[in-house]
Structure 1
Amino acid sequence: MIWAELDRRLDGVSGTVSAYVGRLGAASAWTRRADATHYAASTMKVGVLVALHRAAEAGAIDPDAPVPVTNEFDSAQPGAPRFGCDRNYDNDEAVWARVGATAPLRWLAHRMIVRSSNLATNIVIGHLGLPAIAQVWTLAGARHSVTGRGIEDFAAREAGITNLVTAADLAALLGGLALGARRPGPLAAPAGCAAMLDVLFAQEHREDLAAGLPDGTRIAHKNGWVRGVRHGAGVVFPDDAPPYAIAVCTTTDLADGGPDGEGTDDACELIADVSARVWAARHDLPG
């Protein structure tokens, strides 16, 4: 059985490896430590994207209105000085090129996903507020995931304020978007969910989950990485089988590729291998 083989494969990996695989909306799934918490890295940006669309649907924000592109943000730790992002730690020069000028929130959110821009993420969070992102996790049915601060808010990090995800919660969030594009759901209107899927389809960092799929396979996904951490979560849309949610979270010394995410490391290859094995069993998935 593929699931027993996967368990044996992952039993030999150092650190913590969590996984969730299942049909959309199904009551059953293959899981492995799916409720174990991991540092979120950039996977938390999906919640920010959803919060922006919800605010736009509510009329609280015009996502196409230009906003200042600045690199100074309020810390989530009360009384801490404002903080900024390190340009050398980011993945998107297009956003940094607009510092001192303006950009629409919708464009910033797009760069936040497809290039994983940290600067864009913090700007969008600044206009939404962290409670809006917390509400997204609640609406998705997440049980353990938390977005407590922006990226590189080191004062908050030192105070114990962090960002956490689980494989099960990431699958619930991304699966909820895919289901929400078909029929009204709790996250956003169907048109909004479809628009968010389009952004996730355009993901340019494709060295983990997507690398395990045949060329041209549609996958709406987001990954995240810092040294010691590598995650991939998404929804795969085969032409010959129903779509399925897959999330693999790793906290392991295999994730040694550093913060830039350009290229692969052993953790990328591990996630790609899991993705390939699941793809091979796509006609027989749980649920």
Structure 2
Amino acid sequence: MLSIALAPWRGSPVLLRNADVPHVAASTMKVAVLAALYRSGIDLDLPVPVHNDFVSAVGGHYANSPDQDSDPRPWGLLGASAPLRWLAERMITHSSNLATNLCLAQVGVPAVAEVWQRAGATGSSTPRGIEDAPASAVGLLNRVTARDLIRLLESLHAEELAVLEGNVHRVDLAAGLPPGTRTACKNGWIDGVRNSVALVHPEDAAPYTLAVCYTGPLASGDDVVDPAARLLARISSQVWERRGGLMP
């Protein structure tokens, strides 16, 4: 299943393909966690303990696996502390799973649900943390739609978008753009799923937002060498070529 949503920045969509079909969120849900944390009123410079023991959404406990995490830095701080702001940045820029669950533990699932609600999302939700196996076993999954991912980006404040500009995983949608193009983006990948959403700032045209969600056999689960990532890059490249005509 391939879902696409494309719109001028904070304008009416110009392309919708399966845009309201839910996909497993993978790491795109981290954007909603970021927004919830930044709007919580919590002191982001507050050091919090770095641990790997989390309360499941269905009761009991679960832990993250270092082998499933793309960012080793927070793992090196186990047993110590780290500022929330730093953890939030690693959650987005390096897609840290451990940092995500530490941030989610600070704000709670209801705060993330409020972010989705205020964005106007209709088919997306974040009822659990990353790798919450007990919740997953009973069918409690984080889900997103392409249209909702655009709505989510459009709802972000400037400081939240600035964090997304630091994303180091310049694959899928970002890979379809000319090098150096200013982009605020977040992607997510697991076996069978590749999702990405990006706010693109061309120098010669108005900014636009593109979200693509793919579920299927092309998604290998690899962070870079993924046929689904190449598919998303081709879509992004085709949109870029038509950037001057993206009017409602």
For the 8 Å contact 1:21–1:286, the answer to whether it is kept is no
Deviations along 1:2-43, whole A, 9 cap, x unmatched? Answer: xxxxxxxxxxxxxx0000011122224201000000000000
Which structure 2 segments of 5+ residues have no match? none
- Could you say which residue in structure 2 is the equivalent of 1:117? 96
Deviations along 1:62-105, whole A, 9 cap, x unmatched? Answer: 11010000000000003xx2111001110111100001000011
* 2:230 maps to 1:269: yes
**1:147 alignment partner, SS class:** coil
**1:93 alignment partner, SS class:** coil
For the 8 Å contact 2:45–2:85, the answer to whether it is kept is yes
CA–CA distance in structure 2, aligned partners of residues 73 and 212 of structure 1: 37
Match of 2:136 among 136, 141, 157: 157
- Could you say which residue in structure 2 is the equivalent of 1:184? none
The letter for the 1-side match of 2:225 is T
**2:7 alignment partner, SS class:** strand
Deviations along 1:225-283, whole A, 9 cap, x unmatched? Answer: 0000001101001111111010000001000144xx1x221100000000000000001
**2:55 alignment partner, SS class:** coil
TM normalised by structure 1 equals 0.85
CA–CA distance in structure 2, aligned partners of residues 243 and 91 of structure 1: 29
Match of 2:40 among 52, 55, 65: 55
Could you say if the C-alpha distance between residues 257 and 161 of structure 1 is closer, same or farther in structure 2, counting changes exceeding 3 Å? closer
Offset at residue 176 of structure 1 (A): 2.5
Matches within 5 A, 1:1-40: 16-40=1-25
CA–CA distance in structure 1, aligned partners of residues 247 and 18 of structure 2: 16
Larger Rg: 1
Matches within 5 A, 1:1-287: 16-56=1-41, 61-78=42-59, 81-177=60-156, 193-258=157-222, 261=223, 263-287=224-248
Paired residues, number: 248
Offset at residue 194 of structure 1 (A): 1.7
Offset at residue 163 of structure 1 (A): 0.2
Identity score, percent: 50
TM normalised by structure 2 equals 0.98
**1:220 alignment partner, SS class:** strand
CA–CA distance in structure 2, aligned partners of residues 43 and 232 of structure 1: 7
Task: Name the Cα RMSD after superposition.
Answer: 0.9
CA–CA distance in structure 2, aligned partners of residues 27 and 217 of structure 1: 23
For the 8 Å contact 1:30–1:286, the answer to whether it is kept is no
Offset at residue 285 of structure 1 (A): 1.0
CA–CA distance in structure 2, aligned partners of residues 156 and 206 of structure 1: 31
The letter for the 2-side match of 1:272 is A
For the 8 Å contact 1:67–1:105, the answer to whether it is kept is yes
CA–CA distance in structure 2, aligned partners of residues 214 and 68 of structure 1: 40
**1:55 alignment partner, SS class:** coil
CA–CA distance in structure 1, aligned partners of residues 166 and 214 of structure 2: 23
CA–CA distance in structure 1, aligned partners of residues 243 and 225 of structure 2: 25
CA–CA distance in structure 2, aligned partners of residues 71 and 28 of structure 1: 41
Offset at residue 47 of structure 1 (A): 0.1
For the 8 Å contact 1:207–1:264, the answer to whether it is kept is no
